[in-house]
């Protein structure tokens, strides 16, 4: 797996975003754990690197976990909560059920942090940091995070079902879904580049293989061997067949060649308003990596809970 990493400084701390963080999540800060848990960052990065060394796919899973958390009422670790007799979490939502992964890695990190600095580091901050460290471990960019998110005591199955963009969406649906979270169309395209890593189940892209015309015929044929017209629903295919465990711009070149695995992927390059941006990212890796890092900073600060608005869970799977 790729081990090199890129660090893109965010110009002037992305002044407009820093103002946003200051006004909407006032208690977040880059040095939030400087005194209370100074080793938190190294503990998380070590655990993430170990998990990815054991299974490269885990990097994409941890990144996706962060995305699915933040798109449902903000980055509050609600996605980690297990169902109980009196509580329904988000894990059984359509986009998450039998699909979302990495919970055990978060559990391991939380256990280590509770040993080092009990009751200090929130699960929401763990998820945000693990996502960044996963991208770095797979050769992608780093980005500056602020900390102090609190964990929710609630979850929303309905919001998880409605807020997370489906792989069947057309371009207009993707634009709307991301716009609902405050993202521009350009930011949506950049963040979609996360599909340069990870895998998808056959059941998610079968319709594209057998029913769509805007797919490279030889590429479709190669996927059909692992995804027959019936059966094999849980068989996996890389979202980026060119370099599935390297965080690079190959995903966009795949789209240029009509080699997008998901319907929603290929919609980014299908004669619409985002075609030019896909071409830019396909020819300029540095531009994509910078834009992706900037988009992740914005995503990591979606509606965080701070102070008494939330708690620091002792166990990420249940409230205190």
Residue 165: per-residue pLDDT: 97
**CA angle, residues 278, 188, 28, in degrees to nearest 5:** 135
Where are the alpha helices (H) located in 180-284, listed in sequence order?
A: 185-192, 202-211, 217-224, 250-256, 263-266, 275-283
Residue 20: per-residue pLDDT: 38
Query: Tokens representing 46?
Result: 């070590």
Which of 66, 68, 195, 263 is an active site residue? 68
Residue 27: per-residue pLDDT: 85
- Quick: pLDDT tens for 4-27: 333 333 333 333 343 333 333 458
Q: Measure the CA–CA gap between 280 and 276, rounded to whole angstroms.
A: 6
Closest among 293, 317, 303, 316 to 23, alpha carbons compared: 303
Residue 183: per-residue pLDDT: 98
Q: Measure the CA–CA gap between 314 and 116, rounded to whole angstroms.
A: 13
Bridge-based pairing of strands 6-7 and 141-142 is: parallel
DSSP assignment of 161-203: HHHSPPTT--HHHHHHHHHTTT--HHHHHHHHGGGGS-EEEHH
Domains and CATH numbers, the chain: 13-164+296-309 (1.10.520.10), 171-292 (1.10.420.10)
The predicted model scores a pTM of 0.91
Query: Is-catalytic flag, 68?
Result: yes
Q: In which residue ranges of the chain is pLDDT below 50? A: 1-25
Which element (helix H / strand E) includes 134? Answer: helix 123-137
Residue 119: per-residue pLDDT: 97
Q: 160 near 79, Cβ under 8 Å?
A: yes
């Amino acid at each position: 797996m790729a081990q090199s990493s890129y660090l893109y400084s965010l110009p002037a701390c992305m002044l407009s975003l820093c103002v946003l963080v200051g006004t909407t999540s006032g208690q977040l800060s880059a040095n939030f754990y400087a005194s209370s848990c100074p080793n938190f960052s190294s503990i998380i990065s070590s655990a993430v690197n170990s998990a990815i060394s054991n299974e490269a796919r885990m990097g994409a899973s941890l990144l996706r976990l962060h995305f699915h958390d933040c798109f449902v009422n903000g980055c509050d670790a609600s996605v980690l909560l297990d169902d109980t007799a009196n509580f329904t979490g988000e894990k059984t939502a359509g986009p998450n059920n039998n699909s979302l992964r990495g919970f055990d890695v978060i559990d391991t990190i939380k256990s280590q942090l509770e040993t080092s600095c009990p009751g200090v580091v929130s699960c929401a901050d763990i998820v945000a940091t693990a996502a960044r460290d996963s991208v770095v471990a797979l050769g992608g960019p780093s980005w500056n995070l602020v900390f102090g998110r609190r964990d929710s005591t609630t979850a929303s199955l309905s919001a998880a079902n409605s807020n997370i963009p489906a792989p069947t969406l057309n371009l207009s649906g993707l634009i709307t879904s991301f716009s609902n979270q405050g993202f521009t169309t350009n930011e949506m395209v950049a963040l979609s580049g996360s599909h340069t890593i990870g895998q998808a189940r056959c059941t998610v892209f079968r319709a594209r293989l057998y029913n769509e015309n805007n797919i490279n015929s030889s590429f479709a044929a190669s996927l059909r061997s692992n995804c027959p017209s019936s059966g094999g629903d849980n068989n996996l295919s890389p979202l980026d067949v060119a370099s599935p465990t390297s965080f690079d711009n190959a995903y966009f070149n795949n789209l240029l060649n009509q080699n997008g695995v998901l319907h929603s992927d290929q919609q980014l390059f299908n004669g619409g308003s985002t075609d030019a941006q896909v071409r830019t990212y396909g020819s300029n890796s540095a531009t994509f990596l910078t834009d992706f890092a900037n988009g992740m900073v914005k995503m990591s600060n979606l509606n965080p809970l701070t102070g008494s608005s939330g708690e620091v869970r002792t166990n990420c799977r249940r409230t205190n």
